[in-house]
Structure 1
């Protein structure tokens, strides 16, 4: 019976460890079949987990693999939440963006781009700016 008392809800732990912003999002992650506990897919948000279990789930554009170290008593600050688990995920590769480079399509055109566009629409062409 003491083994049953040490288990706690998966969705609540994910929320308290600050992997998701709300408990309903944690429950949706579990019911969507995206969370694995010790390699087995968790079917319900109320799935019982305990210290020592390994969770695998997607977070953003990466897959997180964490080992539960302790049950969460509350949703506290991030420093407290980081003591609840051991991150076993492979490190992310850093993709460096050169300083001053623009990501095309995600921002407004520069003044120079706008002038080129205006000249193109008037039929003058690119020769005038260069």
Structure 2
């Protein structure tokens, strides 16, 4: 029996539009990419309630959401945003993370031969 005001984590993630399907939400929870109040969600059936803080690792981003309400349905994005408060840290741009990165440069003609160069090489071999 489900307690009042609690909801399965996979269902809540689906309703909050964190993922596209409920099965993807279940896989996310089982893979250990969801934390409920700093504890890893071991199963898709773990329950969340109002006030819980979820830490979700999704596509290389870290989302920190505070649960404001259980979901009733998967509605439009505006309705989904009312289910949580976004407390995520500001993402850093990847280019800013490596300011001294040097773009690899290749000298002209040092890569693979072009089609024209390959034909010239084949002609030289055929003459022998």
Q: Normalising by the residue count of structure 2, what TM-score does the alignment of the two structures yield?
A: 0.71
**Corresponding residue pairs, total:** 103
- Alignment RMSD, CA only? 2.1
* Matched residue, 2:69: 70
* Matched residue, 2:114: 117
**Separation in 1 of the partners of 2:40 and 2:50?**
18
SS in 1 for 2:56: strand
SS in 1 for 2:114: helix
Unaligned runs of 5+ in 2: 96-112, 122-128
* Matched residue, 1:55: 54
Which structure has the greater CA radius of gyration?
Answer: 2
* Matched residue, 1:37: 36
**Separation in 2 of the partners of 1:21 and 1:120?**
49
Pairwise CA distance, 1:117: 2.5
Q: Normalising by the residue count of structure 1, what TM-score does the alignment of the two structures yield?
A: 0.70
**Separation in 2 of the partners of 1:25 and 1:47?**
15
Contact kept, 8 Å, 2:8 with 2:47, in 1: the verdict is yes
Residues 40 and 121 of structure 1, relative CA distance in 2, 3 Å threshold: same
Pairwise CA distance, 1:93: 2.4
Unaligned runs of 5+ in 1: 97-115, 125-130
